[in-house]
Amino acid sequence: MSAQPLLEAEGLVKEYPMGVRALDGASLTVGRGEIVGIMGRSGSGKSTLLHILGCLDRPDAGRVCIDGIEVTRLPDSALPAIRLRRLGFVFQAHNLVPSLTALENVALPLRYLRPRPANPYAQAKAMLEAVGLGDRLHHLPGQLSGGQQQRVAIARALVNSPALVLADEPTGALDSQSARALLRLMRRLCQERGQTFVVVTHDPVVGQVCDRIYHMEDGRVLSTAAG
């Protein structure tokens, strides 16, 4: 872990209507090149934390710094650019745009970049080959298995070379064999590319590939442990 953390979250509070407090002073730090797991029971605040770290939601209190930028101070209009250039997302399921091929799904973030890269599809193809799907470029999501779809999602999350990839239950919809293959892929990408992952999960198997694990309960980050 380098001296300058990639991600710092401090004192995050998020309260929903009806007085439900999803986050209650949650804080965490993630260094560059780490795979960090966030574990906890349903309703412990994991997904809310991930949404706030991913600039999809705002905390009621607290601050988040990504790559030295305090994103909680930025206006709403600046957040899509942060998500586009510094973050990658992998969700549990229904993760791809069904009308786009694997290649088009991976090239999607590049299409939103301004100025557009010279050859987004060449970049997307290289990324798909890196996750072992060079022979599935023109398949629609419906023509791929669950594990293959998640590998496409990882390729899409990485194609912009973001500083941080946030994954929300990435193995949740996969069988154990596919889940293990996906985790091996994440570990390999982390080692080869120095990529940083924050993975929200309640699956202990996922915890085994993490460098560190934060446990959450009732909106608080309780402890950190080696994976």
Partner 1 sequence: MEILRNLYRRRLRTGLTVLGIAVGILAFTVMGAMAEKFNRLIAGGEAYFANRIAVHSTGGALRLNLLGPEEIEVMKRTPGVRHVETHIMMALDETAGFELAPRFLVGIDLPNFARAQLIGDEAAQLRLARGGWWRPGERQVAVLGSAVAHKMKLDVGDTLHARGRDFRVVGVLQETLSLPDGWALIPEEDAREILFDGSALLREMGLDGAWTNAYALIEPGLGEALTDQLAHSLRRGYLLHSPEQLAKAAGTASSLLNTAILGSGAIAVIVGSLAVINTMFFAVGERTREIGIKKAIGAGRWAILREFLAESVLIGLMGGLLGLGAAAGLIAALNGYAAQEGTPVFLLTPRLAAGALGFATLLGGLAGAWPAWRAANLDPVEALRAI
Q: Which residues, at least 6 apart from 39, have a Cβ–Cβ distance to it below 8 Å?
A: 46, 201, 202, 207, 213, 214, 215, 216
CA-nearest of 100, 142, 103 to 120 is 103
In the complex, what is the shortest distance from the CB of residue 213 to partner 1, in angstroms, rounded to a whole number? Answer: 24
Task: Please identify which residue in 21, 32, 63, 85 interacts with partner 1, judged by CB under 8 A.
Answer: 85
Size of the site for partner 1 (CB under 8 A): 29
Return the ∠ at Cα 123 (arms to 119 and 126), rounded to 5°: 140
In the complex, what is the shortest distance from the CB of residue 106 to partner 1, in angstroms, rounded to a whole number? Answer: 10
CB 102 within 8 A of CB 131: no
- CA-only gyration radius of the chain, Å: 17
Exposure letters 115-140 (e unless 16+ CB within 10 A, then b): eeeeebeebbbebbebbebeebbebb
Task: Please identify which residue in 65, 69, 108, 137 interacts with partner 1, judged by CB under 8 A.
Answer: 108
User: If binding is defined by CB under 8 A, does position 57 make contact with partner 1?
Assistant: yes
Task: Please identify which residue in 5, 37, 40, 54 interacts with partner 1, judged by CB under 8 A.
Answer: 54
Q: Which one, 18 or 226, has the nearer CB to partner 1? A: 18
Binding mask 152-181 for partner 1 (x = CB under 8 A): ----xx--x---------------------
User: If binding is defined by CB under 8 A, does position 215 make contact with partner 1?
Assistant: no
User: If binding is defined by CB under 8 A, does position 16 make contact with partner 1?
Assistant: no
What are the residues binding partner 1 (CB under 8 A)?
51, 54, 56-57, 77, 80-81, 83-85, 87-89, 91, 94-100, 104, 108-109, 112-113, 156-157, 160
